[in-house]
Structure 1
């Protein structure tokens, strides 16, 4: 796995033609594995910026981290959200590659095409996740020194935001110590699991105010959430994770299957019927991992994409270790990382929070609660600002988002979007990206 594998457009076209699928956008790519620990192999996939107005060295580098934990950035983030091609291998008009080079990393180890050689090599907390990523980033910026000077941003979604916060703090320290050479420009936390308890405690009120719970349902959801709160306060985090799952079941039962990723959609009846017979890990895998590993995406990744990459070990299946990734992180799942965000802000790191209006799992109400808990000395100034409206790029005069920026902290409220903002509101997400990477 020591060699660097880079595709050529001709090679990719040959595979696509062989499958009878449309041609991709022209562009330069690279990918490889890094052994971040003994028996722990992490996969990365880079798309060089494809802009008509600037070369890739004149544009930022964005690393994208998916949620779960166990969701694959090389798969879901790439083909369902921001990569140059969609799942049908057709060009995406709102791809982030037109504004920046994009680096997808399958993390924690065991996610996507990343893999472990043995059961004890999985990460069990964000500290290990951050340590693993620092090994990968050191390798990446050493082997691709042309990226050392370009602004480097970490963008994330869901649990990826929790990991991104921890990674950003360790990266800041490593740069100061001279062990990693890069121009770290900021971190963006999208619908991120920064303060799990604040999310859970606001599910009831949010659903009630959107007419998705009645008084009885509100009482039941709130009661179940209080049990989670008690477990967190007692530092019983494995128990808290299990009780969090119970709250989700109570929500599903009282809303007739509201979708946690977008409250305007609903889970099919057959999924609801299976709840009673599932154990905790299987239930959470169904709710939060399988949506990132649809059958069509799995067939793409384990078929033509695997063939294209050419370096995936024979015994590795894309997404094959995702459930183990999630179960090994269960004890860390409900731990907050608000203090880490505080440390980033105090250190002068640019931090952006962005959230979808229709997201339930990480509802905006919960995000605003933990932001108000920050000890950062700029918080009072941020709170005094009124937000600014942003037009929907596809509908001039129609509001697509609101945002506020004060010193090194920004918050974007993305309208008509659920948990996966680039999937739901691609043009607005791309505009936000451009605003964030140009604000310096």
Structure 2
């Protein structure tokens, strides 16, 4: 691996979180210009999917020190904090299971597995016990991060984990799936990507999803969610669910995927093709299964990066449409710092849907938060372009990131870095 620039100190390993369940982690020590890594926070990054690899996609496509060409990334978060990537749930990325029954099926199991990993991590790397620790997440990773944060807080309070938990950041997160689906039609219509007929069809499908969720028919709701996406693609000429201004459609992955799919052409197959397969593009897969695994040296011979992603996705399917707004409420009530951030151009978890579930929070200080006026953010004191808006009250914050889709660090790296600095410095 020919790396350019300053190579950060690194470490990685496996933790056996359950019988037959092995979770992989990768740590980069901070390369702050003026501070030692023990004087800056530790950030854990959780990818979405479920089944997308933080050690792969989040690392090389978003916030790690190198991109997929192994060139230095000037917007890496390692400049500001030590960064811990984890491939979760088990079976994701280089994590793996040796028994079909070992895959997680819900966020409760996902969070329990992560607690085992974090307990091992903080026990073995005691220098991080007093450093502020933050969990940042993206997409389905946000749903998992909320549950993990609540479980971690309980472990800290009981004394079973020594950790200085600073808070959780939920990026374009699948917290209330039905609120996202219900907002797709109006959002696309306002962006001139649906006409009246298309809007009517999308709203009709979204209503079916809503009814299934109300009746706790979550498997049915997942199938109807996929059907709604079919209708969205039909009436928008295959809009990109991850950035509405980028024409590259997830349809591009379909033919290749269907040749090797375990799902066939059913609704789960379509969802996997749209939302997980693009996170495992050919170039990234070749990088991870080629030079990266050679450097890591600990990956079992029979484990292929991303090889169990379809299994992870399928096993978690019953959890897809379940909301976790109540978990966010509990985090806020526990006085844990919670940040929501979202990209303006995201569709799958559009900002309108995020705002709608936030309005449902029962947190006792929600009225004060809603009454505050957001502040524009600029990249420098002399800069005039507004890159985001921000609003905060006590332990709850919201960032509206402009000109960004679902993967904010990829679309607006400098803005994401600015947001990170604000969160970890509470400024």
Give the TM-score band, short-chain normalised. Answer: over 0.9
Contact 1:25 1:84 in 2 (8 A): no
Of 279, 289, 292, which aligns to 1:305?
292
Deviations 1:175-195 (A, max 9, x none): 000111100010000000000
Runs of 4+ residues deviating >6 angstroms: none
1:64-75 equivalence runs, <5 A: 64-75=45-56
Residues of 2 paired with 1:263 and 1:196: CA distance? 19
Q: Report the equivalent of 1:7.
A: none
Contact 1:201 1:226 in 2 (8 A): yes
Residues of 1 paired with 2:384 and 2:87: CA distance? 39
CA separation of 1:272 and 1:34: change in aligned 2, threshold 3 A: closer
Give the total of aligned pairs. Answer: 421
Residues of 2 paired with 1:71 and 1:40: CA distance? 17
Deviations 1:359-390 (A, max 9, x none): 00000000000100000011000011100000
Q: Report the equivalent of 1:343.
A: 330
Q: Report the equivalent of 1:168.
A: 149
Residues of 1 paired with 2:234 and 2:382: CA distance? 37
Q: Report the equivalent of 1:406.
A: 393
Contact 2:242 2:346 in 1 (8 A): yes
Residues of 2 paired with 1:215 and 1:202: CA distance? 15
Shift of 1:268: 4.8
1:254 equivalent in alignment to 2:235: yes
Contact 1:257 1:272 in 2 (8 A): no
Of 86, 91, 102, which aligns to 1:105?
86
Q: Report the equivalent of 1:90.
A: 71
Residues of 2 paired with 1:269 and 1:326: CA distance? 17
Residues of 2 paired with 1:328 and 1:88: CA distance? 33
Partner secondary structure for residue 259 of structure 1 = coil
Q: Report the equivalent of 1:433.
A: 420
Of 353, 362, 366, which aligns to 1:375?
362
Cα RMSD of the aligned pairs, angstroms, is: 1.6
Shift of 1:271: 3.3
CA separation of 1:55 and 1:193: change in aligned 2, threshold 3 A: same
Q: Report the equivalent of 1:321.
A: 308
Q: Report the equivalent of 2:277.
A: 290
Residues of 2 paired with 1:394 and 1:249: CA distance? 45
Residues of 1 paired with 2:3 and 2:304: CA distance? 25
Contact 1:126 1:166 in 2 (8 A): yes
1:366 equivalent in alignment to 2:366: no
The runs of 5 or more residues in structure 1 that have no matched partner are: 1-15
Q: Report the equivalent of 1:231.
A: 212
1:279 equivalent in alignment to 2:266: yes
Residues of 2 paired with 1:208 and 1:133: CA distance? 40
Residues of 2 paired with 1:127 and 1:147: CA distance? 25
Shift of 1:290: 1.0
Deviations 1:102-139 (A, max 9, x none): 00000000000000001110000000000000000000
CA separation of 1:79 and 1:182: change in aligned 2, threshold 3 A: same
Moved more, 276-285 or 229-238: 276-285
Residues of 1 paired with 2:88 and 2:36: CA distance? 28
Partner secondary structure for residue 54 of structure 1 = coil
Partner secondary structure for residue 399 of structure 1 = coil
Contact 1:24 1:89 in 2 (8 A): no
Partner secondary structure for residue 257 of structure 1 = coil
Partner secondary structure for residue 298 of structure 1 = helix
Deviations 1:115-168 (A, max 9, x none): 000111000000000000000000000000000000000000000000000000
Partner secondary structure for residue 317 of structure 2 = coil
TM, length-normalised to structure 1:
0.93
Partner secondary structure for residue 417 of structure 1 = coil
Of 34, 45, 49, which aligns to 2:15?
34
Q: Report the equivalent of 1:8.
A: none
1:385 equivalent in alignment to 2:372: yes
Moved more, 385-394 or 68-77: 385-394
1:60 equivalent in alignment to 2:41: yes
Deviations 1:80-115 (A, max 9, x none): 000000000010000000000000000000000000
Q: Report the equivalent of 1:209.
A: 190
